[in-house]
Structure 1
Amino acid sequence: MSVSTLQGKRIALVEGRMSGALSELVRRHGGEPYAVPALREVARSCGEEVASFVDGLSAGRFDVVVCMTGVGVNALCDEAERLQRLPECLEGLQHVILACRGPKPVAALKRRGLSAQVQARTPFTTAELLEAMAVLELAGRGVALMHYGERHEPLAAALRERGAQLDELCLYEWLLPEDLGPLQTLVRDLVAHRVDAIAFTSKSQVRHLFQVATGLDLAEPLRQAMQSGLVVAAVGPTSAAELNAFEVTPHVVPENPKMGPMVMALAAHMTRMTA
């Protein structure tokens, strides 16, 4: 049986926060990481928003709090601490149903002594979150939705359709890197076929890459490169769906939507290509 390996291939990585860990995974599988973050997480000025949320918790206005990401949970707690209201916030969260989209918000809550009563199953998309929340009666109940780095309108709409009295929190946002030079160089390298594969770990990375390509008048050449020749990997169905929206079908989407399984699946795919 042949061993799956990236065989020294150049693998473009547009992950931001976990860029180092993902690069190391690529190296372990014999690949050459080409890491250029396509986004940065920026905390929003959200003191009034968090103060209002904590007021609502203390007043018993919320029955359910939906946590999309660990970053969001951490941002909430950091801002509540800055406002000197963290104990009040944590106390209030103990008296609501906590629903989490994936393991990262579950872990962030656990570090603060809180447990999620509702957890989405793999692959941790909005569909699985709504499925897990189907057991909850939401009509007429207060629900707080903590978005990720951008507002998730389909989820907000689905909760409202179920009758939830919805409050929304947007505590941080995903922006393009301040210096677009490295990302512009990556686009040119992708179009010129100087890269063997590219891996995406969020839908925002896809959108930002094409946004930069559009600014260079290279969106169509980029799409063509990703349709033929360049191997494209997506960590899960959400990023795969965003690629599909740009008329790109990923070659690799692991069953387990995590970075490790994605790199393993990418190595297996590239090994089969050369067998």
Structure 2
Amino acid sequence: MNWLDGKLIGVAADRSAESLRNLIQKKGGKPVVYPIQGKQTLNEQTSQQNIKDFLFEPFDWAIITTGIGAKTLADSSVEVGLYSSFIEKLNETRVAIRGKKTLNWCKSNAVQVSLVSEDGTMESILKTFADEQIDRKQTQVFLQVYSQDDAKLKEELEKAGCHVYLSQPYSYEEPIPEVLHNLKNAIITQSLDAVVFTSKTQVNNLFGKSRDKHEIIQAFNDKVLAVAVGKVTANELNRNGVLNVLKPDQPKMGPMVVALERYVRQIALYNH
């Protein structure tokens, strides 16, 4: 029996929307795609300047927060003919990373990693930097981020005594207003049984500058289930007031859909 039969599942993702659609349909669910990630934009000149600054300024640590950020910087280093120098400098610098995609990029580019976030969050890295065991005096940090929200990480590191260079090689544009409005309306009217999120950017786009925020939170805390691919996305939902967030043990789309089906099954059996 497919426990998602007849269930309407909102999909907030963009690039992975087709894969999620297929996974949900195989479980009998009816996916409705609302791509609110926003188009990814390469800040080409910024990225190239970041590479040059990284190479010609002294850094003790390089914190890479996303696999896309690592790849974007590497691509820019190729464009300016400095790829080998970029990889060499990374290996002369202590590298801290947040997620699995970044770790995979480091492995495929022969970059040695000094610190990996224990749970895939920046909070874990910040906790380590705040630890007394790390000498923060005059520590120079190259920090790659991708949004204004993540720029707050710079402030946290500076509070810990670090000197921080902010690298923003790419960003996301605002989502299409009509698509965002339609998802909000579907949540508020509770016409969806669940909404799956694959990034905190999607969560920020849903709640940011929203006059309907209270109604959206109320719907999630009533009958619409919020589903997050991993801890970072789940934390962002919690931070915005969503109390009940489902997330898989493994931060991947397949396990996320399996966890959703299992949850629906448990609720159905309990109510029966």
TM-score range, shorter chain: 0.7 to 0.9
**Match for residue 118 of structure 1 among 115, 120, 126:** 115
On the 8 A contact 1:26/1:263 being kept in 2, the answer is yes
Cα distance change on mapping 1:167 and 1:211 into 2, 3 Å = closer
Q: What do residues 1-43 of structure 1 show as CA deviations (whole Å, max 9, x unaligned)?
A: xx77323311101012222222222223332221211122433
Q: Pairwise mapping of residues 115-154 of structure 1 onto structure 2 (< 5 A)?
A: 115-122=112-119, 124-133=120-129, 134=131, 136-154=134-152
On the 8 A contact 2:199/2:233 being kept in 1, the answer is yes
The SS at the match of 1:94 is helix
On the 8 A contact 2:197/2:229 being kept in 1, the answer is yes
**Match for residue 228 of structure 2 among 197, 218, 234:** 234
Cα distance change on mapping 1:187 and 1:75 into 2, 3 Å = same
On the 8 A contact 2:247/2:256 being kept in 1, the answer is yes
**Match for residue 93 of structure 1 among 90, 110, 116:** 90
Distance apart, 1:53 and its partner CA: 3.8
Q: How far apart in 2 are the matches of 1:165 and 1:247? A: 33
Are residue 258 (structure 1) and residue 252 (structure 2) matched?
A: yes
Distance apart, 1:55 and its partner CA: 4.0
On the 8 A contact 2:38/2:172 being kept in 1, the answer is yes
Unaligned runs of 5+ in 1: none
Are residue 205 (structure 1) and residue 202 (structure 2) matched?
A: yes
On the 8 A contact 1:70/1:105 being kept in 2, the answer is yes
**Match for residue 225 of structure 1 among 219, 230, 241:** 219
Residue 102 of structure 2: aligned partner: 105
Q: How far apart in 2 are the matches of 1:41 and 1:75? A: 15
Q: How far apart in 1 are the matches of 2:217 and 2:149? A: 26
41-50 vs 156-165, which moves further: 41-50
The SS at the match of 2:172 is strand
> Alignment length, in residue pairs?
267
Residue 272 of structure 1: aligned partner: 266
Q: How far apart in 2 are the matches of 1:251 and 1:52? A: 37
Residue 22 of structure 1: aligned partner: 20
**Match for residue 33 of structure 1 among 27, 31, 34:** 31
82-91 vs 239-248, which moves further: 239-248
Residue 187 of structure 1: aligned partner: 184
Using the size of structure 1 for normalisation, the TM-score is 0.85
**Match for residue 174 of structure 1 among 152, 156, 172:** 172
On the 8 A contact 2:43/2:168 being kept in 1, the answer is no
Give the % identical residues.
Answer: 26
